[in-house]
Amino acid sequence: MTKFFFFWYFFTCNIIFADEIKISIILENCKSCHGYNYEGNKYIDSLLDIEKSDFITKMNEYKYSNDNYAMNRISKVLTEKDIKKIAELIYENK
Ligand code: HEC
């Protein structure tokens, strides 16, 4: 039984860990357009100017809209859970 739990623990930890890595790689991708610290540039407004809840709403709007702009293509591959996790990380220090 102990062996089983050890195995189960090891397995679930790995899944959580893999997920964290994936999200941090996705965030590096966001920075390539939204700037280091998501503060934007002369073309794109800072992501920190909007609230976390607006961020989640906007990301879902991009995800479910049929347009084909950069943000639509990027958000299509994210799950709603990914979007929430990304929001946690971007707005955690705000
Ligand atoms: C290829 C460049 C590019 C990448 C990569 C990118 N974005 Fe964007 N993003 C844009 C552009 C351009 C806009 C503004 C134009 C628009 O609304 O489509 C935008 C707008 C947004 C907005 C709306 C901001 C507002 O004030 O309305 C959010 C939120 C956002 N992006 C989040 C993200 C996140 C999170 C990622 C990473 C998963 C990401 N973006 C990656 C180009 C990019």
If you search the block for the tokens 């909007």, which residue do you land on?
A: 50
What's the pLDDT at 21?
A: 73
**Banded model confidence at residue 93, pLDDT cuts 50, 70, 90:** confident
Check which CATH number belongs to the domain holding 78 and give it.
Answer: 1.10.760.10
What is the mean predicted confidence (pLDDT) over 59-67?
97
Which residue's CA is the nearest one to ligand 1's atom 20?
71
Provide the residue range defining the domain that includes 16: 2-91
Atom of ligand 1 nearest to the CA of 46: 26
What sign does the CA torsion over 39, 78, 54, 90 have?
A: negative
How far, in Å, is the centroid of ligand 1 from the Cα of 93?
A: 19
How far, in Å, is the centroid of ligand 1 from the Cα of 76?
A: 13
What's the pLDDT at 50?
A: 97
pTM score, whole prediction: 0.85
**Banded model confidence at residue 5, pLDDT cuts 50, 70, 90:** confident
Q: Give the chain's domain count.
A: 1
Who lines ligand 1 at CB under 6 A? 26, 29-30, 32-34, 44-45, 47, 50, 55, 58-59, 69-71, 74, 86
- How confident is the model over 9-62, as pLDDT tens digits? 766 666 666 676 789 899 999 999 999 999 999 999 999 999 999 999 999 999
pLDDT at 78 over 90: yes
11 to 5, 8, 18, 19: CA distances (angstroms): 10, 5, 11, 13
